[in-house]
Amino acid sequence: MLPIQAAGRLPLIGFYALYFGTVGIVLPFLPSYLESLALSITQVGLLLSLSPLLALGAPHFWGHLADRTGRPSLVLTVLTTGSCVAFVPLLFVDRFPTLVATFAAYAFFASSITPLVDSLALQHVAQEGGSYAHLRLFGSLGFVLSSTLFGFAVDSVGRAAVLVPLALLAALTLWSLTLRDSGGPSAGVSVHPLSGLQLLADRDLRWLLAGTALHWIACAPYHATFSIFVGSLGLPPSVVGISVGLGVAAELGVMLLYPRVANRLAPRHLLAFAFVVSALRWAGLSVTTSPAIIVALSLLHGLTFGAFYVASIAFVARRVPPHLRASGQGLFAALTFGVGGLVGYASAGAGYDWLGGHRLFATAALLELAAATLVLRITPNEPHHPA
Confidence of residue 381 (pLDDT cuts 50, 70, 90): low
Which residue has better confidence, 303 or 1?
Answer: 303
- Residue in 218, 212, 157 with CA at minimum distance from that of residue 345: 218
- Is 80's pLDDT higher than 60? yes
What is the number of other CB atoms lying within 10 angstroms of the CB of residue 141?
Answer: 21
Q: Return mean pLDDT, the chain.
A: 84
**95 in a domain, yes or no?**
yes
Q: How far is the C-alpha of 180 from the C-alpha of 288, rounded, in Å?
A: 48
In a domain, 292, yes or no: yes
Q: What pLDDT sits at residue 78?
A: 95
Within-domain flag for 366: yes
Distance, in Å, from the CA atom of 319 to the CA atom of 329, rounded to the nearest integer, reads 11
Residue 7 has pLDDT above 80, yes or no: no
Q: 28: Cβ–Cβ under 8 A, 6 or more apart, which residues? A: 147, 151, 226, 227, 240, 241, 244
- Angle at the Cα of 30 from the Cα atoms of 24 and 33, rounded to 5 degrees: 145
Residue 56 C-alpha from the chain's centroid: 14
Q: Does the pLDDT value for residue 5 go beyond 70?
A: no
The answer to whether residue 385 sits within a structural domain is: no
Separation CA 285–CA 218 (nearest Å) = 13
Least confident of 45-49, 133-137, 282-286: 45-49
* Domains identified in the chain, total number: 1
State in Å, rounded, how far the first CA of the chain is from the last one.
27
> Which range of residues forms the domain containing residue 341?
4-375
In a domain, 56, yes or no: yes
Q: Is residue 381 part of a domain?
A: no
Q: What is the pLDDT of residue 191?
A: 52
Instruction: Say if residues 312 and 15 touch (Cβ distance below 8 Å).
Output: no
Considering 168-182, 229-243, 251-265, the range whose residues carry the highest mean pLDDT is 168-182
Residue range 295-320: mean pLDDT, rounded: 88
What is the per-residue pLDDT for 318?
78
- d(CA 205, CA 224) in angstroms, rounded, equals 27
Query: What CATH number is given to the structural domain containing 187?
Result: 1.20.1250.20
Q: Which amino acid is at 290?
A: S
pLDDT, residue 3, reads: 43
Mean pLDDT, rounded, for 34-57: 82
Is the model's pLDDT at 108 over the cut of 70?
yes
- Residue at 384 is within a domain: no
234-244: average pLDDT: 82
Please name the residue ranges forming H helices in 322-356. Answer: 325-332, 340-355
Residue 281 in this model has a pLDDT that exceeds 90 = yes
Q: In this prediction, what percent of the chain has a pLDDT beyond 90?
A: 35
Rounded to whole angstroms, what are the CA distances from 349 to 44, 47, 234, 325, 340? 7, 10, 20, 34, 14
Region at 164 (left for phi over 0; alpha for psi -120 to 50; beta for the rest): alpha
pLDDT tier, 77 (very low <50, low <70, confident <90, very high otherwise): very high
Q: Evaluate whether residue 187 is within a structural domain.
A: yes
pLDDT at 386: 45
